[in-house]
Structure 1
């Protein structure tokens, strides 16, 4: 029985939470985007109803588990439109309604001097003055407040600046590519695409928030040579911008030959040394033979170049005009080698 009671209670809670939708009382979210510092009008109305004696309550849905923030409430002429009346400090002095439009069922509000921090989800609940737990109708509004960047000439360049794309270098799988988008508001979706527009799988991007602006760093590995684009998309404001670069991917990553030794390197080294010794020995033998040959040729030429001269007492043909008796006989008695 206890288990059945729990199930019935859970069923009742589900039905109560779904009742506004089933009755057509809960509307689809309204998307709204404005530039920071401008005026934002959040629409809400109950057609055919004079709201002057009714109650409607505006709240901002909290983020990261936070509760709703009281923003503005109209209760049959009584207002909660300041921090003193219970309004959240974030909206103090910046929210107002359209008093003359209440009789036409218009419960819209106006936010002035919008900030990036105002971005988020808002609800507008129509309630009976008796503070009934069930709203008559609930409206949902998603507000995006963005910063518009301008160049030196004053022309609008878009909420997200042009991404920077950088080649970090080769990896074991290809080439590492990095896309960076800085100072974007609202938060962009960053992707790397090939020349055909196909999305390249990437690591989880690194996101940093500073005062409502976002820095996004995305890294991915490409495996083919070609053109690649870094694309930043902000759907809330229908804005998209990209940067492109050409990437060369090597089919094979060069190996460090010095760190890789073949299995038979030892035998190859020994054979190399033996070949070197044999070559040097042959060269030395050839050099010795060449020296001996040259020495022999020099000795023969030197001997052929020697001449015989008569002794001083015999004279020469030029000096005496006749040959000596010994020369006439073909004999030689005394010789001096010069």
Structure 2
């Protein structure tokens, strides 16, 4: 490299750059950011017409993918009318039945797709690729899904509301408590604590997904009087909320209520009475 001398003019360098881009076969479109509310539909734009390429892509091939941690996810595939929803296999489970395109816009070079009922997990970086064009083209789109939380009445709020705590069942020496969370998204961690903030062992949480949110119920059986707290924490958004309940547990005077216990108590009473009578008899005889 010691004998290398850069003698090209700026115009020549620009020409070389254009040639390299053409030979590389990939031209990245300007990154587009799409912002939607959770639960709404998102249109991801991808159009050759906006790149001044007047081309009917009805018989063309393009592929939508989403970047993932280990690999990419297949979002939508189109090849001259063949799609994921009409015979083509390989679409990621996350997008099955939720992605469609604009058939009547293909003749204008529009390969945009629409994702229905967006979820937090849909957010991320997408690419729309035309690998068979000359040169091939890839467009980048970023989807941002804003979280929308729902309270128990179905209305919107800024975060998951306080959990609902209730006593499901109770006896003289125990109580069964339930902590119920509705429509939480992202999925929270739920736990029971005592009055000192110590985590208590509870039953396995019952969770179900509904409309992009999670319904969770966590039960615990307590045997001591005191205040108990159900804590709901969403680490992803740094949100924490809790509800308290005070439980009174009766203390038994006699723990042993078995027949043997009662028999032992009866024998003790008889012996005690007999001892008193014997003592009185002994005292009377010595007067």
TM class by shorter chain equals 0.3 to 0.5
- Higher Rg: 1
Structure having the higher helix fraction is 1
In terms of fraction of residues, the more strand-rich structure is: 2
Higher relative contact order (Cα pairs below 8 Å, separated by 6+ residues):
2
